[in-house]
Amino acid sequence: MAREKPAKSRGVKNTTFTFWDLHEDIAGAVSDHFVPVWIGKRSQKISNNQRETHIMGKFTCDNSSCSKKEWVSGHVAIVIRGYSDNGYNATVYNQRCIACKKLGNLNLDKSCYVERVAYWLKTWARVKMVRQVYEKKRTPPHLSELCEGCKQGRCAQSL
């Protein structure tokens, strides 16, 4: 399956991101089973399910005096929350540049994000699935001190 163009974090320097604009893709991935509902971060609802996991992404550093221009991570922290009535949201955590320690610009691997969120929504909805086996990709080791998910206690690598 060909990888689609990554979703960008639009250059905003945040420690976390919500890619609500990918909701239609997630809805399409689970549409044979149920209709998911995006729950905003400011909602007062309490989640029934939560999963700390990781996805893939590419980061760039826009600090002109920095020697490191980009890096790839196979461990971009994400927290997926499930709510009643098939509600959900997902928070993706930023990473810092190893050279200058500034927050990076995330280019999210869209298909990885959609697959991972859809998988957990289906799991929580008790949809029967064949468990996917993924080939481990070689990426640099995870550096907790540069991971915003680790700093907030939300990264699967730090649990």
Nearest to 117 by CA among 43, 15, 39, 58: 39
Banded pLDDT at 1 (limits 50, 70, 90): very low
Query: Residue 57, exposed/middle/buried by CB under 10 A (0-12, 13-18, 19+)?
Result: buried
Identify the bridge partners of residue 106 per DSSP, sorted by sequence position. 59
Three-point CA angle 122, 30, 117, nearest 5°: 60
Average pLDDT of span 14-18:
95
The answer, yes or no, to whether residue 132 has pLDDT greater than 70, is yes
Q: Which of 63-67, 101-105, 135-139, 141-145 has the lowest mean pLDDT?
A: 135-139
The answer, yes or no, to whether residue 110 has pLDDT greater than 80, is yes
What proportion of the chain, given as a percentage, has pLDDT over 90? 79
Banded pLDDT at 135 (limits 50, 70, 90): confident
Residue 133's pLDDT is: 80
Residue environment code for 32-52, b if the CB has 16+ CB neighbours within 10 A, otherwise e:
ebeebebbeeeeeeebeeebb
The answer, yes or no, to whether residue 5 has pLDDT greater than 70, is no
Instruction: Give the whole-angstrom CA distance, residue 80 versus residue 34.
Output: 17
| C-beta separation of 76 from 95 below 8 A | yes
Average pLDDT of span 136-159:
88
What proportion of the chain, given as a percentage, has pLDDT over 70? 92
The ranges assigned to domains in the chain are 13-55+74-95+109-151
Banded pLDDT at 157 (limits 50, 70, 90): confident
